[in-house]
Amino acid sequence: MKVGVIADVHGNLVALDAVLADMPAVDRLVCAGDVVGYNPWHAECVAAVRGETADVAGDEFELSDAAREKLPEDGIATVMGNHDRAVAFDRAYGFNEMARTAVAHARETCTAEQLEWLGDLPDQRLVCDGRLKIVHGHPHDPDRYTYPEEYNPGMLDDEDVLVMGHTHVQGHETFEEGLVMNPGSVGQPRDGDPRAAYAVLDFEAREIEGHRVEYDVDRVIDAVREADLPLRIGTRLRRGQ
């Protein structure tokens, strides 16, 4: 079984389109949270992750046919990220001004049904017959930043693979007890590489392939400007920050 793994889309429909179009054939897709926040296509990214491809059309940008074909009709198995929570419940406590502005924009542009969906996302999810656990930050704390150098077998319970997001840093480690991984961020990489990130997990081979794909960052910057969001939300993408 092969699983496509994404995380931290953060409302970047252009990057999500590139990732889905580039992704090889997989048996299922999972997402480690933060579908919304920062970039301006919050509602469209929620629609995509929910499998509602008919609703995925942003201002002057629509999901490509190649990307639409990868989306399962029943949606992508997803957990709640800290930005998903902030948008769902209007609780941007501790966020900087840039992030708070984006939360307000997301609450204005997402439908009531989408906000409810975000609020109903679980902190953890087991899929693939319990072999794969999805969290956002850490299995014991959804808001904890856990970088690749901190991965250890004690983070695993009975699952074969633990998927995390939150840091926007791609990486994985293989232990006798199982695999710990972060696919990196689709919509806002923070590892110095501006290309959108995702990963493909091969259960039988016990292998994880990290992928990077280029996308039109300038198109995102233009959309950020048109949405009257802080321009740095877009310009930072050029530096992978």
* Structural domain count, the chain: 1
Name 54's Cβ contacts closer than 8 Å, sequence gap at least 6. Answer: none
- pLDDT (0 to 100) of residue 57: 60
Report whether 10 contacts 39 (CB < 8 A). Answer: yes
CATH number, domain at 195?
3.60.21.10
Q: Rounded to two decimals, what is the model's pTM?
A: 0.96
- Which among 188, 185, 194 is positioned nearest to 164, based on CA atoms? 185
Which pLDDT does position 61 carry in this prediction? 77
CA distance 71 to 63: 11
Which tokens hold the place of 123? 């902190």
CB 75: neighbour CB atoms within 10 A?
17
- pLDDT tens sequence for the chain (241 residues): 999 999 999 999 999 999 999 999 999 999 999 999 999 999 999 999 998 876 666 556 788 999 999 999 899 999 999 999 999 999 988 899 999 999 999 999 999 999 999 999 999 999 999 999 999 999 999 999 999 999 999 999 999 999 999 999 999 999 999 999 999 999 999 999 999 999 999 998 999 999 999 999 999 999 999 999 999 999 999 999 8
Strands 77-78 vs 28-31: parallel, antiparallel or unpaired:
parallel
How far is it, in rounded angstroms, from Cα 132 to Cα 147? 19
Whether residue 82 contacts residue 144, with contact meaning beta carbons closer than 8 Å, is answered with no
Give the H/E segment covering residue 31: strand 28-31
Rounded Cα distance between 46 and 12, Å, is 11
DSSP per-residue letters across 206-218: TEEEEEEE---HH
**Residues near 210 by Cβ (< 8 Å), separated by ≥ 6?**
170, 171, 172, 183, 184, 197, 198, 199
What would the two tokens of residue 21 be?
A: 């179009």
* Rounded Cα–Cα distance for residues 187 and 37 (Å): 10
Angle between helices 13-22 and 42-49 (to 10 degrees): 30
Range of the domain at 92: 2-239
- Across the beta sheet with 28-31, the strand order is 77-78, 28-31, 2-6, 196-202, 207-213
Do 200 and 23 form a contact (C-beta atoms < 8 A)? yes
